[in-house]
Amino acid sequence: MSKPNTTGISVRHERKCSEHRADGKCCKARFQARAYDARAGKRIPKTFATVSAATRWKHDAQVALRRGEISADRGITVTEAAERWLDAARAGQVCNRSGDPFKASAIRSYEKEMRLRALPALGDLRLSEVTTHDVQKFIDGMVMDGFAPATIDSALTPLRTIYRRAVARGEVRVNPTLRIEKPAVRSKPKRIASPEQAAQMLAVLEPADRVLWAVTFYAGLRRGELIGLYREDVNLASGKLRVERGWDLVDGEAIAPKSRQGRRTIPICAVLRDYLDQHLLTTSGQRVFGTPNWVCKANDRARKRWEASGLPVLTLHEGRHTCASLWIAANVNIKALSVFMGHANIGITLDLYGHLLPGSEEEAADLLDVFLARAATGAHTGAHPAESTV
C-alpha cells in the first residue's frame, strides 16, 4: 500500500505485513498523525483507521495546541504536585484565600489529609489528566465507606487548593475539583454556658485555672492566643487586652495570629479585670499563663472539677463560643463582635453565631411596621422618614 499524500500522516503496518511475509498478504494498515507541541518540544502521535480521521484529528490538535488546551508534556503527578505545594507553603510562597501565608498547623493538616485520603486514590495520576469523574469517584468511595461529611470535606479541601493554584499558574487548564457532589456538612449546636453557669464554673476551679477560663469566657481568646499572652499585653489601667501572637503547639514557637484580623484589642469587662488583677499581682514571669503544656491540659483539669460539681463541661474553644454568646446577649453589635473574636470577616461571625442574634419574625414585623408608619407620617409632613421622630 502506498503512503497517503498527506503531510504529517504516515502508514503504520504490522510487523508481519507483506513487506516481511513470503505470501505477500498485507495487514489492515492504520494511519498515524502527529501534532508538534513547540512549548514541550515533543510530538503528540495518534493512530486512526482512516486517513480522513487522522487528518481531522491533526488539524484539531494543532488548533488545541495553539490555544493551550492540550500538551505533549503530560506533566507531574498529583503526588509530585502535592509535594511541591507543601514545600512552597512551608516557605511562605503560598497564600490562603485571605492573602495570608498558611499557618504551620494548617500545612500539617493538609499534609495529613492528602497522605491519608487523596494521594492513595489519585496520587499516581497526572495532575493535568485528572478528571471530574476521577475526583467524584474518590468522594463517592469515601461516602460508601461511611466517612462523616466533615471528613470528606477535609479530604477534598487540600486537593482543591492545589488545583486552584495550578489553574492560576497555567499548569492545568481545568479544575476537576469543582462541581463535585458531596454530603453537606451540618454544624452541630454549639455548647455554651449561661452567665450564671459561667460564674459557677469559675468558682469551683483552682485560682490559676480560674483566671485562664475567665479570659476565655469574657475575652474569647483561642488556646494558642492564651499561650501567647504576655503580661505586657494586658493593660488594666486602660481596660484593654491586646492579642499580638498565637502559639504553634508542634513547633513550639510564637506565631502570628490566625489571620490579620487576629491581632486585635479586646475590652476588659469589670469581672475579668478583678480576676486578672489578682492573678498578675500574685504571679511572675513574662507569660500570663505559664507553660504551653499547662494551658493545653486545662480542659482535663476543668472537666474533673465540673463533673464533680455537677456543672456543664466545656472545652476552651467552647468557652470562646460562650464569650460570643455573652457579648451578643449584651447587645454588642455584630461588627464589633467580629473584631473582638478575631474573625477574618464578618461573614464568619454571622455563620457561627447568627442564630444567637436577638430578633424573631414578630419583632421583625413590628420593626417594619414602625418604619412604614414613620414613612407615612413623613410623607404627610414632607419630612424624610430618617428625620422623623418617634
Q: The domain that contains 97 carries what CATH number?
A: 1.10.150.130
The string of pLDDT tens digits covering residues 183-224 is 998 777 788 899 999 999 999 999 999 999 999 999 999 999
Greatest alpha-carbon span in the chain: 111
* C-alpha cell read off for 82: 502535592
Most confident listed range (70-74, 248-252, 386-390):
248-252
Same domain, 342 and 218: yes
**Confidence at residue 367, expressed as pLDDT on a 0 to 100 scale:** 66
Same domain, 162 and 240: no
Average pLDDT value for residue range 293-316 = 96
**pLDDT interval class at 22 (50, 70, 90):** low
For residue 383, being part of any structural domain is answered with no
For residue 118, being part of any structural domain is answered with yes
**Confidence at residue 388, expressed as pLDDT on a 0 to 100 scale:** 42
What range does the domain containing 22 cover? Answer: 9-67
**Confidence at residue 15, expressed as pLDDT on a 0 to 100 scale:** 67
The string of pLDDT tens digits covering residues 88-134 is 999 989 888 777 788 888 899 999 999 999 999 999 999 988 999 99
Q: ∠ CA(278), CA(256), CA(233), 5° rounding?
A: 25
**pLDDT interval class at 267 (50, 70, 90):** very high
**Confidence at residue 5, expressed as pLDDT on a 0 to 100 scale:** 45
For residue 365, being part of any structural domain is answered with no
Helix (H, G, I), strand (E, B) or coil at 36: strand
Same domain, 151 and 208: no
More confident residue, 179 or 74: 179
Same domain, 155 and 210: no
* C-alpha cell read off for 238: 486602660
Q: How far apart are CA 267 and CA 265, in angstroms?
A: 7
CB of 217 within 8 A of CB of 269?
A: no
DSSP state of 232: G
Number of domains in the chain: 3
Same domain, 22 and 84: no
DSSP state of 224: H
Give every CB contact of residue 205 below 8 A, 6+ residues apart in sequence.
213, 301, 302, 305
For residue 373, being part of any structural domain is answered with no
**Confidence at residue 7, expressed as pLDDT on a 0 to 100 scale:** 66
**Confidence at residue 61, expressed as pLDDT on a 0 to 100 scale:** 83
Beta strand pairing status for 9-12 and 246-248?
Answer: unpaired
Same domain, 347 and 200: yes
What's the CATH number where 345 sits? 1.10.443.10
Residue 4 has pLDDT above 80, yes or no: no
CA dihedral 130, 131, 136, 141 (to 10 degrees): -40
More confident residue, 338 or 358: 338
How long a stretch of residues is the chain? 390
For residue 187, being part of any structural domain is answered with no
Most confident listed range (58-67, 168-177, 294-303):
294-303
For residue 3, being part of any structural domain is answered with no
Average pLDDT value for residue range 224-230 = 93
Same domain, 86 and 136: yes
Beta strand pairing status for 246-248 and 240-243?
Answer: unpaired
**pLDDT interval class at 259 (50, 70, 90):** low
More confident residue, 344 or 238: 238
